[in-house]
Chain A
Amino acid sequence: MSDMPLRAPLRPLSQILPARDRGENPDIIERKNIELRHETQRDPARARAQGRLLVLGIMFICIFAVITVRIGLLSASEPIEPRSQKAGASIIAQRADIVDRRGRILATNMETHSLYVETAHLVDAQGTARALAQVFPDLDADRLFKAFTGQRKFLWIKKKLSPEQMQAAHDIGDPGLRFGPREMRLYPNGNLAAHVLGGASFGREGVHAAEVVGVAGVEKSFDERLRDPAQSGAPLQLSIDLSVQAAVEQVLYGGMQLLNAKGAAAILMDVHTGEVLSLASLPNFDPNNRPSLPAKLKAADSPLFNRALQGVYELGSTFKIFAVSQALQMGMVTPETIIDIRGPIRWGKFRIKDYHNYGAKLPVFEVITKSSNIGAARIAQMIGAEEQKRFLTSLGFLAPIPIEMPEAKGGRPLVPSKWTELSTMTISYGHGLSATPLHLAVGYAAIANGGYKVTPTLVPNPTVAKGERVLSETVSKQSVDMLRSVVTDGTASFGEVAGYAVAGKTGTADKPNPQGAYHEEKVISTFASIFPANDPKYVLVVSLDEPEDRTGSEPRRTAGWTAVPVAAEIIGRIAPLLGMRPLIEKQTRADITLTSTN
């Protein structure tokens, strides 16, 4: 208090007293003094306030400057991991592995390096170009040199390097050669299940990292799931069984070679859950080095073409069982009903005839076992176009199958634009409607599992809600019995596999030629099978493109001689792998008996 300057009194007696004497109001003196005091205080107060505003302004500018600089730094700098955070599974930002139903690896990642050039740092452009061309024989030294000395400051040399190549490039020793870390997708099983897996390539690329994106197959359909960091690297499990897939592909390849076929497809599916255990299409490719679409070849002949999902073919006599099951379901016939099969049926200029002459009459079950086109056509006539269309729609034959593969959308069935009575008749024996082998597998699964429609899937699916019911239990049983007799007494006698009671139907369809007619000597032969017949568990569809058995005196192309033996061999190989014990059928009781029947 003592330091403060003495304040002038507002009512100094020296002024008040004379004022009182003069009879004036002393308050006027006080007011004047207050005014004087305020006047002296005003300037310093203003100066102080201005000073504070200035400080405040500077502080705001500093804060904004700090924030701006920080934002700028954050956006311009490379991301670094926080040092003090604890390491957890959450830092795994790799693309998830793909494993089979038993956890065996189908696709994984491997760390590798990319090679790029920063031309500004190149010391010896010519020498480097020459040395690089030596390390990578596919590169051209002159072209590299031109690129190094041109306008470009940066160029990629190789996206993936093997450790040896990296060492060799490192040994060139030019500071302009730079390596960037890369994660590459590795398919350790090579060609196996190539069509299921599809393949991956790089998406957005930077020097320090590149995005791995799926380009086909499950890699594409599950791309988001595989890249999702929230899944913290949990592998994606597929319903595919690696050893079954290997056996299927091996036998299918052998069959394709023996029978001189140009392509083949096989699908193995669980009839109850719709899980696809094996999906093969030959020729295939190596997903580690996915080929580009060849320009010269037709798309359908490319190894990238998935015959099982995209190959829309007329599936021939395999369709007959659908007509018969539907007629059974509608109560129009029983397996013993006699059908008039006198032919050929003439319809305008179109004729429906049988492969052999089976006489005038056949019971319904023999229409299936003997594979009579006329018989199937007559049954379809009873059913009618509308009902047939409705039934095939309910089995999924009129739309692409919704399986988790982008390729499946390409498998849109070809249906007649006008579903006439003639179409009804031809479709009953598999001509006039083209579908994929997968459609056929779905249709046969419904017949085998007691009449429920299944939706095929590539992920393990143990608890599955039953689909729409399309056939009754009895009809399903009767149909499977008929299919069983096709193998025991009919066209698929080579399909018998001891212990596994195969049921199935052959189909040999002439391939359409570009002129709209049919090739004389090119067929698609298909065998759709169900096993074991007494308690169906799996459906297997095998389809061969242009097979020809040349071992006999004349080439044999029918499915009974081509697709059926291949399918039988496949079943013989995979049924034990699937853990199925052989069943002893009553009529063929042999010296070994079973401990249990499954």
Chain B
Amino acid sequence: MRGFLYALTVSLVMGLAYWAYQENIKTQAVLSYVEALQDDIGHARARLKILRAEWAYQNRPERLQDLADLNYDGLKLLPLSADHFGRVDQVGFPELPLLDQEDLRPLDVASRRIGQ
């Protein structure tokens, strides 16, 4: 009986040791993964920061002004001035094509879209 208990205890300890070893390895793996992720996040943040800075740099007013001047022939961009304001009815909206009556029925439209 005692021998059996000894054997049981020893195997239990071995089993637990194996489990702890496994858990340790898994934890280490997860920690390295998290570390890699954090590294990625850090790099992504740095990249985002650079992109934001670059966006701000590319859109600096001085450059936009130069670009507007360079492309004046094509774009005809001028500084906004008071005479650019007007009434809504002075705006030449493009005429909208008449709507297809079928398109006004939502069920039909939905089923047709699904069909496509």
Contacts and interface: CB of A to CB of B under 8 A. Distances in A.
A362 interface: no
B33 to A, nearest CB: 10
Interface of B, secondary structure class, is helix
Interface string A96-115: 00000000110011110000
Nearest to B62: A190
Nearest to A581: B85
Nearest to B28: A83
A576 B81 contact: yes
Contacts of B49: 94, 108-111
A19 interface: no
B41 A87 contact: yes
Interface of A, secondary structure class, is loop
A188 B37 contact: no
A499 interface: yes
Contact of A499 (B61, B82, B87): B82
A192 B59 CA distance: 13
A92 B41 CA distance: 11
A126 to B, nearest CB: 37
Interface stretch (B50-58, B94-102, B107-115): B50-58
B29 interface: no
Nearest to A572: B81
B38 interface: yes
A242 B56 CA distance: 11
Interface residues of B, number: 32
Contacts of A500: 82
B62 A84 contact: no
Contacts of A247: 61, 79
A40 interface: no
Given A84-B34, A94-B49, A573-B79, 7 more contacts: A242-B61, A497-B82, A499-B83, A573-B81, A582-B85, A592-B85, A594-B87
Interface of A: 81, 83-84, 86-87, 91-92, 94, 104-105, 108-111, 186, 188-190, 192, 242-243, 246-247, 250, 497-500, 572-573, 575-577, 581-582, 592-595
19 contacts: A87-B34, A87-B38, A110-B49, A188-B60, A189-B56, A189-B60, A189-B61, A497-B82, A500-B82, A572-B82, A573-B80, A576-B80, A576-B84, A577-B80, A582-B85, A592-B85, A592-B86, A592-B90, A594-B85
